[in-house]
Chains A and B, each alone.
Chain A
């Protein structure tokens, strides 16, 4: 079985191409001048530069965290370039027709033909390549509904009051080492604002792509759902295959005001490195949302990529009766390492949270779930349900669970369930005896294991996520 499983886990990374786009890349290194350069390049107002500099100064005083269950060589932050933009972006395109055809080709290769987006009703795409937002489709239709969906660099100029009011309120500049770095040097990302009482008329979507060598990608996403509004947002991520490790340190902030609902889904397929563990993305991401009264935030993530994942999408349940949800599938293969989970901070009364985390480990990979459920003293009647399941494929991988529960209110109800299982020889044999080949069998068993999470994804992405798992597992049995 082990040998069988081993060979099923072998599969090439299908998004691993590099596009020949001339780009404008800053020489490696990071100091205040670099921060000023980025800010100037973005033609930012003075307050934004000050905000970045404050973050940069804080970052210089901070130390890289080492508590996660991941191991990698020390990152030389001075060896990275902090800004890279496709050259043709210098004269910003006004419409799709003006976008560099090579860029559009690249998106087509990724399976996101922007031209066809118009036909594919329901999904508006903001595409971020290296550090710059390329084009946002569907803008007109969204503007009609009063929805703002644009690159954050543009929002800083066009909607300074909104950005100023919310940026850094959920993830402060000094929150952690990577968030501080991101605050200093982020070059783009998406901004979403849904007005009061508005149901966003379509799924919003961002695709992130790291293309250039030796660049870090630091995008920043801010989503504000005003009172009584609803939005569903999806992000997808890929990168070319490189022997070097690339750094990705994003920050996502969600603000759900009273009675608002935000559904944030991620399908992350950053290059995981090769079969020997060479190359791959270091993914150090801070994602957090705040829920005001009766608000709800759902994080759903399917993570199959990155060499290292360090990521804990969290909810601060500040308002009474607010709800936080976290549904996660994290698959690691070969030499990948993932330390991921969530934090649910219950502050308001009758706040509820649900955590369903599914970890799948194959090859020699290591997967850890790390979760915090904190019930503050004032969170009368708070409830949490956590379910944490690990599935092992083969006998050289590892699954670890680090749940932290802190309750300061005796009326709180907290449940935690955890299981660890293996894809068994008997399951595999049953499938094969019914005519399925081993690869199909493993992917079916793994998909079954993830079912509870997939059903939380928007339909078309659930299908995509299923396929992604299949691809990521190919070669793990044979």
Chain B
């Protein structure tokens, strides 16, 4: 699904990722943890092609394709989804209109025809209920005036509608209360089907109680310094990151 080999990337002249390698197979859930400034969010941004993130060397294969050669929207249409830590507002553009355009773009890429407005509306309404978002939100501007929790649930709704192959959740748990966290986790778990893969970037072990990962990686100073199973998250919770940072340095 995703093969990252010796990836080096910089932001504003500073090297953030250093020789990072990671392999993700279909159906796997990988958690990325680590201290502030370790490069956790950078990984998601580099993979999705965000402007300002410069890859200096390395290779990334996504479904066998050279991911780094693809435009941002091509990566998305290939099935790479990034759930944002801070989703932005787009005033006046309704959620429905935005979602329909996104889903149509993905379907077109897959050689499928556009959904009719009627069918799409039905699907969107059903999906919004799955993340406990009132369907009335579909008629509002994208994230316009949404609370922090509503924005995150909106991200999960987009993920469900787009049916990506690889979902990257960038600190989706930040700023969520426990109820919203459970809704988000339930949404993610419902999408685990043995084929779809996930990268869950988080600061805290808490989210991983609900989204149980197959692997936990600790990122420090731009590279993976330790990999383990779900128990590693508990150990990190107890011991902190300092002992690993020393190892990584």
Contact = CB atoms under 8 A, between A and B. Distances in A.
Interface of A: 1, 4, 424-427, 429-438, 440, 444-445, 447-452
Contacts of B87: 430
Nearest to A430: B88
Contacts of A445: 90, 93
B102 interface: yes
Shortest Cβ-Cβ A-B pairs, 8 listed: A448-B92, A448-B93, A435-B105, A434-B102, A451-B92, A432-B72, A435-B76, A426-B88
Nearest to A449: B92
Contact of B50 (A429, A431, A448, A450): A429
Interface in B48-95: 48-52, 71-73, 76-77, 81-82, 84, 87-88, 90-94
A425 B93 contact: no
B209 to A, nearest CB: 28
Nearest to A1: B51
Nearest to A437: B73
Given A433-B76, A435-B77, A438-B73, 19 more contacts: A4-B51, A429-B51, A431-B90, A432-B71, A432-B72, A432-B76, A433-B72, A433-B81, A433-B82, A434-B98, A434-B101, A434-B102, A434-B105, A435-B73, A444-B101, A445-B93, A448-B90, A448-B94, A449-B91
Contacts of B48: 433
A450 B92 CA distance: 8
B84 A430 contact: yes
B109 A435 contact: yes
A447 B73 contact: no
A424 B88 CA distance: 9
B158 interface: yes
A429 B48 CA distance: 9
B32 to A, nearest CB: 18
Contact of A425 (B49, B51, B82, B142): B51
Given A429-B72, A444-B97, A436 B102 contact: yes
Contact of A432 (B52, B73, B92, B162): B73
Nearest to B92: A448
A20 to B, nearest CB: 41
12 contacts: A425-B52, A430-B142, A432-B72, A433-B48, A433-B73, A433-B76, A434-B76, A435-B106, A437-B105, A438-B73, A448-B93, A449-B92
Interface string B217-239: 00000000000000000000000
B43 to A, nearest CB: 15
Contacts of B35: none
Q: Count chain B CB atoms within 10 A of each CB in A426, A431, A449 and give the residue with the most.
A: A431
Nearest to A4: B51
Interface of B: 48-52, 71-73, 76-77, 81-82, 84, 87-88, 90-94, 97-98, 101-102, 105-106, 109, 141-142, 158, 162
A440 B101 contact: yes
A447 B93 contact: yes
Contacts of B98: 431, 434, 444
Contacts of B51: 1, 4, 425, 429
A435 B107 CA distance: 10
Contact of B141 (A434, A435, A440, A448): A448
Main secondary structure of the interface of B (DSSP, over half): mixed
Given A435-B109, A436-B102, A427 B76 contact: no
A418 to B, nearest CB: 15
Contacts of A424: 88
A436 B99 CA distance: 10
Contacts of B49: 432
A440 to B, nearest CB: 7
B99 to A, nearest CB: 8
B45 to A, nearest CB: 9
Given A444-B98, A445-B90, A449-B92, A434 B162 contact: yes
Contacts of A449: 91-92
Contacts of A448: 90-94, 141
B148 to A, nearest CB: 16
Contacts of A429: 50-51, 72
Contacts of B90: 427, 430-431, 444-445, 448
Nearest to A358: B92
A430 B106 CA distance: 15
A437 B91 CA distance: 19
B88 A427 contact: yes
Contacts of B158: 434
A435 B102 contact: yes
A1 B72 CA distance: 13
Nearest to A3: B51
B24 to A, nearest CB: 19
Contacts of B109: 435
A435 B88 contact: no
B246 to A, nearest CB: 36
A319 to B, nearest CB: 34
A1 B90 CA distance: 17
Given A426-B88, A448-B90, A436 B141 contact: no
B73 A436 contact: yes
A11 B56 CA distance: 34
A447 B97 CA distance: 11
A67 to B, nearest CB: 33
A434 B88 CA distance: 13
A451 B162 CA distance: 26
Contacts of B105: 434-437
Contact of B93 (A4, A435, A444): A444
Contacts of A432: 49, 71-73, 76
A258 to B, nearest CB: 37
Nearest to B78: A435
A433 B170 CA distance: 13
Nearest to B144: A448
B151 to A, nearest CB: 11
A434 B98 CA distance: 9
A447 B92 contact: yes
B100 to A, nearest CB: 11
Nearest to B94: A448
Nearest to B84: A430
A427 B51 CA distance: 12
A436 B88 contact: no
A464 B158 CA distance: 29
A448 B88 CA distance: 14
